[in-house]
Structure 1
Amino acid sequence: MLSNASDRWHTELWAGQRDILPLALGVATYGLAFGVLAAQADFGVFATAVMGTTVFAGSAQIMAVQQLVAGAGVGAAVVAGAALNLRLLLVTASLRQELRGRPAWQILLGLHLATDENWALLHATRVAGRPAGYWFLVGGGLVLLAVWVVTTATAAAFAQLIPDPDALGLGFAFTAAFVAILRNLWRGLGDVGPWGVSIATTAGLIWLTSLPPAWALVVAGIAGAATAAVTGGGGHADD
């Protein structure tokens, strides 16, 4: 009996690692762009790797470091990144079934490794009629974490060797990567409301008030997350 249970979680862990590989290529792309951005913010290779391991939230890390590069304070950078990551409260709340009854270390591990990519893959796999649960999510998350840390640290090391990264057009890589992130976050028509509120709030605060853009993004992120919570916005990846 114990052997069968062990075989099941090993099989599920491997399936999650295998199935996430195509999505991991996209993560590597904006991981490279983030590494260049981190170097511009004077993050060393070690600091970039530590941030990637402990925070492990690509879009939030990009937003926070972008604010530092733009001259915003540390507080504004942290709050901006946290506000952008509020959507993960909805993602992790949807994992109650997978986390129920597990020891604390497994719950914390699952929450830390939950991303847009492996969460969406979990649901897509189930829709396709194949089993996928907690260890499937963790397997995918471990691969994404490894790819993210390696690519960001490598890019940060490379960028430190270049006197002027912008001269090579690497700045556009960040813009392209952020567009890719937005596309990756889109889950269906249910996102129209929350995204629309966030965009309108950002534009209104920047054009009509003297609020700094960094704080406008924070307020807009909170407004968008609140809209999603109230309206139930945010469709699954297969919508």
Structure 2
Amino acid sequence: MPPVYDPDAARAEFRAGLRDITPLSLGVALYGLAFGLLAAQVGIKAPLTALMGLTVFAGSSQIVAVERLAAGAGMSVAILAGLALNLRLLLMTASLRDELAGRPLWQIMLGVHLTSDENWGLMHATRCRGGRAGYWYLVGGGTSLIAVWAGATMLGTGFAGLLPDLAAIGLDFAFTAAFILLLRNLWRGPGDLAPWALSAGTTLSVAVLLPVEPSWALIVGGLAGAALAAGRGAAHG
């Protein structure tokens, strides 16, 4: 059965999502600026950086893909490395079957595209506090996040063009700083420890022990961590 659409309730829920996500959006802006600096280092222009943010909208995936390009990896390998790091999004969007059930295709695609760690987690936290948080709350939060992310990355890229040499003023550390910020933001508690540890250990082992390009170590590590997370989720589901 398609969900009953109440325009007033949908608008109120959308606005609540926009409002409640604001503190998290400010954090996204910080590492969006850092990513923009990184993108500029490999020659990506501001409009293309913004377009990447709007179409990919996966911070850790974008950071890893651009970092791999900067390290000399090919385009296809860089994309695979980014995808492997974000396999957790498959599990997150799969958990939205109740919110997406019965909706038209465009709403399903929009909801899936706008789902991120921040608005997905906020939706469930709001529900736990007894608040109204469903599909339109998720979309409202995602709309704020994607706008802030694309805008911040574009600003960071444009700002980098005004600087003579990022390494000379210490901003070449922006890649590492942005990824540290992302990791801290993605950590949801002790339950994440096992998949993270397996992913890191697998990546390190493959990179050290096998004669392969480091991007493949990231891909294998991402797949291993996602497989463990999926198995644990199925066991508890």
- Deviation by residue 1:48-84 (Cα, 9 ceiling, x = unmatched): 1111111111110000000001111101110001111
Q: Distance in 2 between matches of 1:72 and 1:87?
A: 23
Q: Distance in 2 between matches of 1:211 and 1:196?
A: 21
Residue pair 2:34, 2:178 contacting (<8 A) in 1 also? yes
Report the 3-state secondary structure (helix = DSSP H, G, I; strand = E; otherwise coil) of the residue aligned with 2:6: helix
Aligned to 1:9: 10
After TM superposition, give the deviation of residue 200 of structure 1 in Å.
0.8
Aligned to 1:84: 85
Aligned to 2:40: 39
Residue pair 2:119, 2:141 contacting (<8 A) in 1 also? yes
Alignment of 1:22-37 (within 5 A): 22-37=23-38
Code of the residue aligned with 1:81 in structure 2: it is G
- Deviation by residue 1:105-150 (Cα, 9 ceiling, x = unmatched): 0000000000000000000000111110000000000000110111
TM-score, normalised via structure 1 length = 0.93
Q: Distance in 1 between matches of 2:88 and 2:216?
A: 18
Q: Distance in 2 between matches of 1:188 and 1:40?
A: 34
Q: Which runs of 5+ in 2 are unaligned?
A: none
Runs of 4+ in 1 over 6 A off after TM superposition: none
Aligned to 2:188: 187
- Aligned-pair identity in percent equals 59
After TM superposition, give the deviation of residue 163 of structure 1 in Å.
2.3
Higher relative contact order (CA 8 A, sep 6+): 2
RMSD (Å), alpha carbons:
1.4
Aligned to 1:129: 130
Residue pair 1:202, 1:217 contacting (<8 A) in 2 also? yes
Aligned to 2:62: 61
Residue correspondences, number: 231
Q: Which runs of 5+ in 1 are unaligned?
A: none
